[in-house]
Chain A
Amino acid sequence: MKKASIFSKVAMDLFWVQLFWAFGFLGIMLAIHVVKVVLAINSDNDIEVYFVSTFVAANIFMLVIGIISSYGLLPHYVSNGVTRKDYFKGATFAAVGLSIALPVITSIVSVIELFILKIFNMSTIFTTTFGERVNMEDDGIIAEIIQSIIIAPYVDPQSNWLLAIFIVILNLLTFYLLGWLIGSAFYRFGVIVGIVFIGVSIVLALLENALLSIGLGLTVPDRFSSYDFSLPIAILGVVVIIFIVLWLIRQLTKRVAIKI
């Protein structure tokens, strides 16, 4: 009976701890956003709603806390008598929870933001043309990698907010898991294998990016331009990637020695 509840305890603990970190991150982003709104009101510039302006940084935030979860948190839990398996399950649920909580929170903040600015008739500062991605036909692989992180595929929340949130959830979860994967590889095998896994992660991130871009009908790099499939298939592909990453993490951490 006690046994069954350990991973859910881990999941709850990790979820709240990481959400607490996320509040720090979201708070800083909100402060920056408020400054941008004030500047936009006083000039003619367009800006994006809070939801859009956070998700770029949110991917990197998730990548970082994913890495931390293998270095700091796994040893901590094992030292409290938690098995690697329970930690794996708990951390996975916490990551899913966090990936859902983040865009939900930023959506709520965006709605409040729109509401307030509408009262003052100032909601026109928000751009209606986003969704235009950098054209990178000739920029090569490096630009592609940067773009996949910085300008992950997204949907305009004002056109289809449910889909917009869902796509963000997929992005955030993927980045968290890739961070966790990289961290686990470094933790278990050291620098060289770790670097190999950075490479693996970049490939997976590019693949996820291409899948969603094709599914959403956004610009894609040349090498993917001959593919065409619907969004459900793209999402299925991303889910498959997520499961592959989870499987890799489990293989890396299943019997890993905890460093003292």
Chain B
Amino acid sequence: MTLNVLVNNLSLTYGSYPALKDVSFMLNEPKIYGLLGRNGAGKTSLLSILASYQEQTSGAITIGGEIPFENAKIMQDVSFIFSKDYKDESDNVKEALKYVARYRSQFDLKYAEYLVGKFKLPLKKPIKEFSKGMQSALNVTIGLASRSPITIFDEAYLGMDAPTRDIFYRELLEDQSNHPRIIILSTHLVSEMDYLFDEVIILHKGSIVLQEDFESLITKGSSITGAAEVVDEFVLSMKQLNTQQLGNTKSVMVYGELNDRDRKVAQQKGLEVGPISLQDLFIHLTEGDD
């Protein structure tokens, strides 16, 4: 069952500080959505509203057509995984998993135990004695094994080393293909995680900058490299994201798809057309006046 998420003109203010401003988007398919944003962009605020941790100041949100806040049916189907504070948790992994399984109807204990093995988590040690990375691995285990129709990972990888993150990414892709559901990944690690995303949402200063399919998004930008004046002339009418120059060689990142004619012209003029990464796009779409 897929629950769709509909967010309409959502705003959240803390006192007079606007954390979210008129945010609207839709998540209709069981895909992996990458939520990107810089520090303080409002990612966690947005996700905590989706997970019914708090209410918006104005605007509307529905999940499966219903208002999620204090709605037992919906809240059971939304898992919000973030870097939880375990300093008082004297339970061990076994007890913690058993507990979650009581409240998450689709929890797969066997799969959870498999993940615990993969992450090499000690079963009997109190969780408060775990390293940050191990605690994150436990969070991720709970998030994946809960199989909630809407699963949110908010920078869930904090403290994990590279091999552990790699296990997380692989298992995420594998389990998502076996049990399709809406998974939202919020992250800073754009270049490392971009291949995971089916769709990308970029949040900047509390507003949505774009929501687009990953594949079509990265074809939307190109880097044009060549002799400075030739490049300048070529990109004149295009939306320029960034310019780098070394001697007489200039490289300009442009936003907007190049058509066949453009490419041909570029080739004739001896310009090199290359792809740009999501990371580059992200940086240039969210940099500026601060």
Contact = CB atoms under 8 A, between A and B. Distances in A.
B103 A255 contact: no
B101 to A, nearest CB: 10
Interface stretch (A2-10, A152-160, A161-169, A204-212): A2-10
Contacts of B100: 80
A81 B78 contact: yes
A257 B70 CA distance: 11
B54 interface: yes
A99 B44 CA distance: 39
B70 A84 contact: yes
B31 to A, nearest CB: 22
Interface string A1-21: 011001001000100000000
A257 B55 CA distance: 7
A81 B102 contact: no
A121 interface: no
Contact of B70 (A13, A79, A85, A260): A85
Interface stretch (B80-88, B172-180, B275-283): B80-88
Interface string B192-232: 00000000000000000000000000000000000000000
Contacts of B77: 81
Contacts, number: 57
A124 interface: no
Given A13-B102, A258-B54, A79 B80 contact: yes
B70 to A, nearest CB: 5
Max chain B Cβ within 10 angstroms of own Cβ: one of A2, A80, A82, A86: A80
A72 B88 contact: yes
B53 to A, nearest CB: 4
Nearest to A80: B103
Interface string B247-265: 0000000000000000000
Given A13-B102, A260-B82, A81 B53 contact: no
Nearest to B69: A255
A85 B69 CA distance: 11
Nearest to A257: B54
A78 interface: yes
A83 interface: yes
A53 to B, nearest CB: 28
Nearest to B77: A81
Interface in B68-126: 69-73, 75-80, 82, 84, 88, 99-100, 102-105
Interface in A230-260: 254-255, 257-258, 260
Contacts of B103: 6, 9, 77, 80-82
B84 A79 contact: yes
Interface residues of B, number: 27
A254 B54 CA distance: 11
Contacts of B72: 3, 6, 82-83, 85-86
Given A3-B72, A13-B102, A260-B53, A81 B82 contact: no
B142 to A, nearest CB: 9
A258 to B, nearest CB: 4
A3 B73 contact: yes
B75 A260 contact: no
Nearest to A78: B53
Contact of B79 (A13, A81, A82, A257): A81
A100 B77 CA distance: 35
Contacts of A86: 72
Contacts of B82: 260
B48 interface: yes
A257 B52 CA distance: 8
A78 B52 contact: yes
Nearest to A2: B105
- Residue among A9, A72, A81, A84 with max Cβ neighbours from chain B (10 Å): A81
Q: Which of A2, A3, A83, A257 has the most CB of B within 10 A?
A: A83
Given A72-B88, A260-B82, A83 B71 contact: yes
Contacts of A82: 72, 75, 103
A72 B84 CA distance: 12
Contacts of A77: 103
A84 B68 CA distance: 12
A260 B48 contact: yes
Given A13-B102, A84-B70, A260 B44 contact: yes
A83 B84 contact: no
Given A81-B77, A81-B79, A81-B103, A258 B53 contact: yes
The 6 closest A-B pairs by CB, nearest first: A257-B54, A80-B103, A81-B76, A258-B53, A81-B75, A83-B70
Interface of A: 2-3, 6, 9, 13, 72, 77-86, 254-255, 257-258, 260
Given A83-B72, A258-B48, 17 more contacts: A2-B76, A2-B105, A13-B102, A78-B75, A79-B80, A80-B99, A80-B104, A81-B75, A81-B103, A85-B72, A86-B72, A255-B55, A257-B53, A258-B53, A260-B44, A260-B48, A260-B53
